[in-house]
Amino acid sequence: MKFLGLMVAVIAAWLSLSSATAIANTEIKREVDAVIDDVISWRRDFHEHAELSNREFRTAKVIAEHLRDLGMEVTTGVAKTGVVGLLKGGLPGPVVALRADMDGLPVVERTGLPYASIQRSEYEGREVGVMHACGHDTHMAILMGAAEILAGMRDRLPGTVKFIFQPAEEGAPKGEEGGAKLMIAEGVLKNPDVDAVMGLHISQGGEVGTASYRSLGFMASAQRFDVQIQGKQTHGARPWAGVDPIVVGAQIINSLQTIVSRQIDITQHPAVVTVGSFTAGVRNNIVPETATLSGTIRTFDAGVRSSIHKKIRAIAEQTATGMGAVATVEIDPGVPVTFNDPLLTRQMVPTLERIYGEQSVFESPRVTGAEDFSFYQEQVPGFFFFIGGRPPELSAAQAIPNHSPFFYVDEAAFAPAVQAMTQLAIDYLHAGAP
């Protein structure tokens, strides 16, 4: 009899949740239609006024004003420029956090869009263009839309929603702290304590109107490495009188390519070692004294990650020594694997399927991109997913990657994404409500 009573209670709770969800689906769709023009306008504004990591001053002001207008408790200046909005529901229940990232990239935009960024700034001592080349402008606008909808039904929410607008997802400038790690250190998951956190990312990897996810390890861990090479300066006409750090650096780069191609079992452990910057010299006929190269490491396994770190140090230091130079290697702690909690994932995927359709929600292969959303997932259960932003007229082979100066997304992706973020919060709160 106890078992029968338990089953009846479970079924009753499920029916109650299903009814509440069905009503919310219909209502939310109407609210999305009402707010979508604003979402598009916000996104275009953010895109045109892109700002670099830890420098998102204007962006933060726009977001904070919007959340205050919705009657939320708003905290600014979190992790330098972050904004946190707290929406307390009218009924008791759990706390769910929804997160969007805020920063652009040091990229000169070449999309030709009427709202293309022409912003300029300084990055690590160099003047650069600034562009939302990774879609963070869309993430912010989508979450602002979800915030407006949820604020309009706060009296019926069984719990609390915390809106996290996070700076420096792309990484704080060298020598600075920032991003999710600093937000956590400054208490973003406390007061009240967050029970679960959710976030999304847009890309042209999927066609508009689709969503993808992966349980457990989803996106790679990532670390930045820097190699400083000390040579001996000389006249370019007499290279034998010095030690050329450019040639040393070139040899190091070539040898680094053998780590993944010849020293890692990539059938078991996907990994990437990429050099993205090589800086040396100021004049054509001077062999410079120093050269610097920087790159990124992507792995899914802690043991492989440690092994790659050791190999990078050994290759750089020993190659330099063999050529009469000195190499110093720095590898930052980086970000861990983006790890979707399996129980939370099973709970939330049906919500995506209701919005996008079961045939349009896919389980993703592992992604070698990285996300500092992973720091939140180390503290509380988290669910991170991708939404498609590729226009239907483009094939998968024509997809423009994030971080490209030509990156853009189809704005038709915004409406289902706003609905998804809103509905995920509602479904989680209803499932966990007492």
Q: Write a three-state SS string for 361-417.
A: EEECCCECCCCCCHHHHHHCCEEEEEEEEECCCCCHHHCCCCCCCCCCCCHHHHHHH
Could you report the per-residue pLDDT of 285-328, keeping only the tens digit for each?
999 999 999 999 999 999 999 999 999 999 999 999 999 999 99
> Do 140 and 63 fall within a single domain?
yes
> Do 306 and 402 fall within a single domain?
no
Q: What is the band of 7 on the pLDDT scale with cuts at 50, 70, 90? A: very low
Domain boundary among 331, 354, 373: 331
Given its phi and psi angles, is residue 403 left (phi above 0), alpha (psi -120 to 50 degrees) or beta? left
Answer yes or no: is pLDDT of 4 > 70: no
Report helix angle 414-432 to 136-151, nearest 10. 50
Answer yes or no: is pLDDT of 361 > 90: yes
Could you report the per-residue pLDDT of 75-120, keeping only the tens digit for each?
999 999 999 999 999 999 999 999 999 999 999 999 999 999 999 9
Averaged pLDDT of the chain: 94
Instruction: Say whether 31 is catalytic.
Output: no
pTM for this entry: 0.90
Answer yes or no: is pLDDT of 9 > 70: no
Domain boundary among 296, 331, 366: 331
Could you report the per-residue pLDDT of 183-240, keeping only the tens digit for each?
999 999 999 999 999 999 999 999 999 999 999 999 999 999 999 999 999 999 999 9
169 Cβ contact partners less than 8 Å away, ≥ 6 residues apart: 53, 101, 102, 103, 136, 179, 180, 371, 372, 373
> Do 304 and 270 fall within a single domain?
yes
> Do 123 and 230 fall within a single domain?
no
Beta bridge partners of 74: 85
Across 348-364, average pLDDT = 97
> Do 173 and 244 fall within a single domain?
no
Instruction: Say whether 103 is catalytic.
Output: yes
3-state DSSP assignment of residue 352: helix
> Do 266 and 292 fall within a single domain?
yes
Which sign does the torsion angle of CA 342, 347, 353, 356 carry?
Answer: negative
Answer yes or no: is pLDDT of 420 > 90: yes
User: Residue 177 domain-assigned?
Assistant: yes
If you count them, how many residues does the chain have?
434
Answer yes or no: is pLDDT of 376 > 90: yes
Helix H, strand E, coil C: the string for 171-188 is: CCCCCCCCHHHHHHHCCC
300 within 8 A of 243, measured Cβ to Cβ:
no
> Do 128 and 215 fall within a single domain?
yes
Answer yes or no: is pLDDT of 159 > 80: yes
> Do 206 and 100 fall within a single domain?
yes
| Portion of the chain with pLDDT greater than 90, in percent | 92
Q: Where are the alpha helices (DSSP H) in 214-292?
A: 245-263
Beta bridge partners of 217: 339
Answer yes or no: is pLDDT of 10 > 70: no
User: Residue 367 domain-assigned?
Assistant: yes
> Do 250 and 299 fall within a single domain?
yes
pLDDT at 16: 45
User: Residue 379 domain-assigned?
Assistant: yes
> Do 212 and 253 fall within a single domain?
no
Answer yes or no: is pLDDT of 270 > 80: yes
Q: What is the band of 174 on the pLDDT scale with cuts at 50, 70, 90? A: confident
pLDDT at 434: 66
User: Residue 410 domain-assigned?
Assistant: yes
What CATH number has the domain bearing residue 148?
3.40.630.10
> Do 50 and 34 fall within a single domain?
yes
Higher-confidence position of 11 and 27: 27
> Do 310 and 225 fall within a single domain?
yes
Across 334-359, average pLDDT = 97
pLDDT at 191: 97
Across 139-156, average pLDDT = 98
Asked which of 122-126, 245-249, 284-288 is least confident by mean pLDDT, the reply is 122-126
Domain boundary among 331, 364, 391: 331
Across 66-78, average pLDDT = 98
Give me the number of domains the chain comprises: 2
Query: Helices then strands (H, E): number in the chain?
Result: 9, 18
What CATH number has the domain bearing residue 288?
3.30.70.360
User: Residue 337 domain-assigned?
Assistant: no
83 within 8 A of 60, measured Cβ to Cβ:
yes
Question: Residue 18: which domain range?
Answer: 2-219+344-432
221 within 8 A of 300, measured Cβ to Cβ:
yes
Q: What is the band of 24 on the pLDDT scale with cuts at 50, 70, 90? A: low
Answer yes or no: is pLDDT of 21 > 60: no
Could you report the per-residue pLDDT of 394-413, keeping only the tens digit for each?
999 999 999 999 999 999 99
Answer yes or no: is pLDDT of 22 > 60: no
Tokens of 303: 């043991």
Q: Which of 169, 170, 341, 410 is catalytic?
A: 169
Answer yes or no: is pLDDT of 12 > 90: no
Q: Which of 56, 101, 103, 195 is catalytic?
A: 103
